[in-house]
Every structure is written in C-alpha cells, then in structure tokens.
Amino acid sequence: MNRKILAAGSIAAVAALALAGCSSSGDSGEAADPDAPVTLSVSAWSIETTPEFQLLADEFAKTHENVKIELKEYDPAEYNTLVTADLAAGSGPDIITQKEVKYVTTFQEGGQLLDVSDVALPEGIGGASSYEVDGTAYAVPYRQDSWVLFYNKALFDAAGVEYPDGSWTWDDYATAAEALTTDASQGAYLHNWQSTVQGFANAQTGTDILEGDFSNLKDYYDNTLALQDAGAQVDFNTAKANQLTYQGEFGTQKAAMLLMGTWYTATLIAQQASGEANEFEWGIAPVPQLDASTAGTDNTPVTFGDPTGFGINANIDEAKADAAKAFLEFAASEEAAQLLAGIGITPALTNDAIAETYFGVEGAPVDELSAFSWATHETLPENPTSSKTAAIQGILGDLHTAVMSGAEPIDAAITTAEERVANEVGLD
C-alpha cells in the first residue's frame, strides 16, 4: 500500500454559536461505575442510506453490553450548522461526527471538542493528523475517502474506446470523453462542486490555498471548460438548474465516466442491487494526472480527499467519557475497518486483508486496476487545518461558480479571489 495523508482542514463559519456551548451535566465528585448503564448519542446524517453509523453502533454494543448507542440524525445539507446550534444550546450529541474536516477548528476553537490524544490508534491509519491542532488530537478518523475515476465498461465497449489503464493524464481523459460522447450519453459527468476542479488542481500542483496564490487553477479550468464547450459533459448551468445528481447521471448510464470519491462505491453497489441504478459492468481507475511522472501503475498517482472522523463533546458527562473514548478507539480499529470494507466503505485503516474484504463485496469490481486505484495513491488534503480555511474555500467556491457559469473569465476570477482573500481573510 502506498498512501500518504497530510494535514487537512477546518472552518469558522459558525464560530459565534460554537463559543456559546454549555455543559448539560455537572461533576458529582464521585468515581464513575464502569459497569453502570451508559447511553451515548452520536450525530449522523442520512442514516437510511449511510449504513456505517448503525453498523458501528451495533457492533460496538456487542462487546460493551452496558453501553447503548443512539443515533441523532441531522439534515446532511445543514449538518454542521445544526450540530453547532445544538452544541450552543447544550443539547449537542456526546459524539460529534466530523462530516467535513474544515469544520474541526470551529468546534475546537469554541471549546466543544474533548482532547482525545489518549485514544489508541492502529499503526498506519490515515487522516489522523487532520484532527490535530497544535499537537492535540480532537477527533479520530474512521474512514478516508480518496477521489478516483469511475467508468462504465459497457459504454466504453460500445464506443470502441479502450478502458483506462492507469496511465492517463488530463489530455487522455479529455480525448476519451469526446470519443465516448454520443446522442444517448456523454463522455463524462462533472458534478457542480468546486472540489471537482480545485481539489485536483491543488493536490497535483502542490498548492497550499492558505498562501493565497490561485494561479494553478487556470489550466484545470481551461481544460474543464473546453470539455463543457465540446458537449462532452453536461454544462454547469444545466446541471445546477436541473439539480442533476452524480448518482443519477452515472448510475443510469447518461455519462461514461465520473470523477468522484470512493464513497460512491457503496452507493453504486446498493443502487444497482435495488434497481435504482442500471445493471452494467463498471470499474475504478486512478484520476488523470498532471503529467506522466505520477501516472501509470509503476508510479503513485496523486489525488485528494479528507477523512471522516469522530470527536467527543467537551461537555460530555464524565461518567460517559471513558465509554465515548472506547467507541472512538473501536471505530478506528482494524476490526471496524473490516466491517466498513464489508459494506463498500473505505476505512481510514487499509491493508491487504481489508482490501480483499472491500473487493469481495457482491457487485464490486474485481479487476486489478480497480484494486490498485483504491489502494495506491498519494492522498493530499482538500482542506488544510486552519481557522482561515472556511473563508478561503468560500471565496474559491464563488470563483468556481463564476467561471463555470460563464459569468467571469478564469484570469479575472483568479485575480478577484486573490484580492478577496488578501482583504477579507488576510495571510500570515
């Protein structure tokens, strides 16, 4: 396995609420009974379609008979705002799932995350440094998604285009996208998130967004706009206006390729099994590379991705703290990694045995390149750990919308973004 996870980020969008948090319980001054019944609440989202939460809760409870785990479901679109509001009101969950790394410093700076540096983590786990602030850990990772290229083998066969072989650069990707475009389907679907362009641009050029220089984005946006103009992918305005989903576009064979995080594996398997997605053979390839130096299966492709983790409410009842830390330790363990891999989730800990479990799931691809793509990559963070990340990403989100919608040319948009970051955020 060749994986390198660097530090990832945080946000301060709702810091004012975070500072208002209060404790829901006091210190009785008595030693806690380790066998006393304990109920832990865990924040979650889309529980019905995100089975990892209930799986981890149920499996942990099997070996901790005195602990009951209750999932507290939040709207995924407003997750961080709603969790922060509950924390401010003193009704927050005991265990706070870190849905987006860029929000970690909001909770940490608000004094709402417990120091969990004493939670034991297995050697080789990815993403742990994303939750460290000044050397202190405020959460632990349990999954680590990375962006890959999903492709529809049936549409490639129909178009007479050779499958990706791991050596593709962005020029190869563009050539294939145009060759795969027909009256019935397009060569690629690019979702409307800024990640789909900026994540690759920053990771593959080694750019740190905290430095405020975004000139690296130009070539990536030029390439993306060229594909959009050629009709090889749905244009941004159409995707937004029609509220297109990447699951629908790729799953119903409206697009032959999809750049997306490895979390989509479990979704696609489930949707093909339920009939929500069409039945077709698909595979995973490394994302296209900036140049040949990182392309090919003899090299390590560069991609991006942030972990997902669990933190503990700093105001947790002391009688629950040990149980909460035990849950975090379990979630990061190899046992939990095997369970997650068994439902098509990419855990933060990977090894050959876990990879075998992951690709042993019914409906998962079985070719060698898919296994290589999942296991071998340098995964760089989308969000560096900093209280400035949120504001900078917000400005870069405006750049993405302006450029992809045609409202502003890329050169002007970069200048605007750089000036806004300097004036609104400030640089160290």
The fraction of the chain above a pLDDT of 90, given in percent, is 86
Whole-number pLDDT of residue 12? 34
**216-235 mean pLDDT:** 97
pLDDT digits (tens, 9 = 90+) for 391-427: 999 999 999 999 999 999 999 999 999 999 999 998 8
**What's the CATH number for 2-145+305-373?**
3.40.190.10
The CA dihedral of 136, 137, 138, 142, to the nearest 10 degrees, is 170
For 86-196, strand residue ranges (E) read: 95-98, 132-133, 136-137, 140-144, 147-152, 186-189
Distance CA 44, CA 210 (A): 30
User: What class, spelled out in words, does domain 147-302 have in CATH?
Assistant: alpha beta
Strand order in the sheet with 147-152: 186-189, 255-261, 147-152, 282-285
Mean pLDDT, to the nearest integer, of 98-112? 92
Mean pLDDT over all residues of the chain?
91
Question: CB under 8 Å, gap of 24 or more: what pairs does 31-39 form?
Answer: 32/318, 32/319, 32/322, 33/319, 34/322, 35/66, 36/66, 36/319, 37/66, 37/67, 37/68, 38/66, 38/67, 38/68, 38/319, 38/320, 38/323, 39/67, 39/68, 39/69, 39/70, 39/320
- Residue 344's nearest CA partner among 360, 322, 331, 323 is 360
pTM score, whole prediction = 0.84
- pLDDT of 15 > 60? The answer is no
Residue 58 predicted with pLDDT over 60: yes
Residue 164 contacts residue 287 (beta carbons within 8 Å) = no
Q: Is the pLDDT of residue 17 over 80?
A: no
pLDDT digits (tens, 9 = 90+) for 334-391: 999 999 999 989 999 999 999 999 999 999 999 999 999 999 999 999 998 888 998 9
pLDDT reported for residue 102: 87
Both tokens of 108, joined, read: 């940490």
Domain limits, the chain: 2-145+305-373, 147-302
**Fold agreement (2-145+305-373, 147-302):** yes
**What pLDDT does residue 33 have?**
64
Tell me the pLDDT tens digit for each residue of 279-326: 999 999 999 999 999 999 999 999 999 999 999 999 999 999 999 999
Alpha-carbon distance values, 281 to 152, 253, 407 (Å): 6, 11, 38
Max avg pLDDT among 20-24, 77-81, 249-253: 249-253
As a whole number of angstroms, the distance between CA 10 and CA 395 comes to 15
